Amino acid sequence: MSRAVLSIGSNLGDRLAHLRSVVDALGWRVRAVSSVYSTAPWGGVEQQDFLNAVVVAEDDSFGEYDWLALGRELESAAARVRVQHWGPRSLDVDVVVCRTDAGEVRSDDPELLLPHPRAHERAFVLVPWLDVEPDARLTANEHTRPISDWLADLDEAERGGVHRTDLALVDHMPGAEADAGDRP
């Protein structure tokens, strides 16, 4: 089993459509989708607010680099251009954590740092993740703690910049009606 927690965000173009494209592309792999949140931009670059969500997905044939490759493909399909660090983007797909039957995947590869090295500092990741996995734990700085504890440690301004919207990425779980013949 390979289970990934993906943080997705958009603040350019049709933001909701960009987020929905991720859920649609994951299809039957989707296990949970958070609510959609409006979040203040992070990193000090002046720009429009983001729409953010978290998607939990599983695929026995995927490893951590497969999740990364899929995320990059989806960003490319949304015309993502990496011009400015923490700048505006049509779609951002980050692999936050990846778990296999052997446990949590750790990676020091600069292309894919796992667990995501700053997820514990970002309410726009933690708040939607709590929607779908309230008992989840995250390792950061050699400490493994519940994500709710990491969130509680954040500054009120960071937490206060994340607002649940009435928008939805799915009406139901993708693939819920699919039979086994539809899956690889």
Mean pLDDT rounded to a whole number for the chain: 88
Please give the helix or strand (H or E) that residue 26 lies within, else none.
helix 15-26
Q: What percent of the chain has pLDDT over 70?
A: 86
Residue 181 CA to residue 183 CA, distance in Å, equals 5
CATH topology of domain 2-166: Alpha-Beta Plaits (3.30.70)
Q: Alpha helix locations (H) across 28-175?
A: 64-77, 123-132, 147-153, 156-160
The pLDDT score that the predictor gives to residue 179 is 39
Is pTM beyond 0.85? Reply is yes
Q: Looking at the predicted structure, is the pLDDT value of residue 175 above 50?
A: no
The ranges assigned to domains in the chain are 2-166
Over 80: is that where the pLDDT of 128 sits? yes
